[in-house]
Amino acid sequence: MSIEKSSKAARGTVQCENTNINLLKANDYVADIIKGEMRKNKTLLINITSSAGSGKTTLMQETAKRLKDKIKMAVMVGDLETERDAVRIRESGVQALQIVTGGICHLEAQMIHQVLPEYDLANIDLLFIENVGNLVCPASFDLGEDYRVTLMATTEGDDKPKKYPRMFLTSDMMLVSKSDLLPYLPFSVDAVVKDAREVNHKLEVIQISALKGEGIDEWCDWLLAKIKEKQSS
């Protein structure tokens, strides 16, 4: 299932009776409503962000394969066009819906809120939002998530945390992805972690390879622990 949104939502402000209304404030209002829905249903909401091609969908597929028999999970996918990523995730055996933004470079809380009725939240332990591939715009929009997780692919270079600091400042976890390629790339894990933690000293880090399985058990254990915390709160 694909859900398309108007590009009008991309405008920075709207005019109403000569008063500029900041859309980020409107976004935060809806995000708070989403947080309430998640709290009521004890559903853990994770916002997955990264540049395009960093491995978000492959991670969702591998996570689904490992956890679908232990918990009830679902995924919401944002992309400018096509439903390809949602199809791939559904093939892993979990519910996945695609939000086609039609050119908007990020997801907004209103988009998430409109799609939520498609999910039986009372029977979902973990809901992922796979955000549009972009380290800039998604950093500014709270989607009501409990945690924001950013993938930092080894193929991107290790200088991104200082170049795109807001994304790493607003994230709770950094996954250094595609670690199986480290022997072939000029990428320093130590350097990227150092830069990221200079931006956000509380940032947790796991090194992963979704294709080879490195770090995926640790990632899944982290998710299960956060689900347990949410359900006991």
pLDDT tens per residue across span 45-63: 999 999 999 999 999 999 9
Domain residue spans in the chain?
2-232
Task: Give residue 22's pLDDT.
Answer: 75
CA–CA dist 68, 12 (Å, integer):
39
Domain 2-232 belongs in CATH node 3.40.50.300: yes
Among 18-32, 88-102, 161-175, which is the least confidently predicted range?
Answer: 18-32
Task: Give residue 21's pLDDT.
Answer: 54
**What is the reported pTM?**
0.89
Sheet hosting strand 147-153, strand order edge to edge: 2-4, 95-100, 73-79, 126-130, 44-49, 147-153, 173-177, 204-207
Residue 12 has pLDDT above 80, yes or no: no
pLDDT tens digits, 88-140: 999 999 999 998 888 788 999 999 999 999 999 999 999 999 999 999 999 99
**Site of tokens 């930092």:** 152
